[in-house]
Amino acid sequence: MKNATACLLLISLLILGGCLPKKEVTEDKDTSVREVAETAAVTPDESKEAEKALINFFDNLARQDYQNALNYYEPEEGLPDSWENYKVYVADKSDDKAKLLRQYCETMQTCERVEPLRLEGSLAHEYEFEVQFKKGSGEVMELGPCCGETNPPETKFIYRVKKFGDTYKVTTAPLYHP
């Protein structure tokens, strides 16, 4: 009887283990958001919903609609992208989040429209997108080396999007540029 119970338990664990979501990050630069979403055991609809939140957040910032941008943004507390860290970069240390975003964007000059290039990886209800930013002229934004560095300028960046309740929101702050 013990052997039968052990066998049933082992079979159950194997079946359940095969149903868990798998994170798969691919190095193939031609992989689309849809393809990676399918291999990560999430629906393409969910990854598209996350991508839409990412685009909406930056579209609102580019239009200077900071209040509406807040609908698509939730920095995680305690991380470098948290609301408290915004106060380091702005003159008015207000608790008004739309005002903090406005001041940050005006100071950094990096709140442009985003173009998702590909889905880097995903876990249940969390996504990482590789993106580039487009200036108003349509040019790709380059973030040059800082502080005496000689690295080539960066044009691609990773942004995280996470599901909060029923809504996807960006958790990564707009680009920092000293």
| C-alpha distances in Å from residue 155, one per residue of 91, 116, 161 | 28, 12, 19
pLDDT at 67 over 60: yes
Whole-number average pLDDT of the chain: 76
Instruction: Kindly report whether the global pTM for this prediction surpasses the value 0.85.
Output: no
pLDDT band at 24 (very low <50, low <70, confident <90, very high): very low
pLDDT of residue 95: 82
| C-alpha distances in Å from residue 1, one per residue of 14, 108, 120 | 20, 68, 48
> Which of the listed CATH numbers 2.10.260, 3.10.450, 3.90.1520, 2.60.40 matches domain 28-170?
3.10.450
Mean pLDDT of 165-169: 94
Residues 6+ apart with CB under 8 A from 176: 89, 108, 110
pLDDT at 106 over 70: yes
Domain boundaries, the chain: 28-170
Mean pLDDT of 23-41: 42
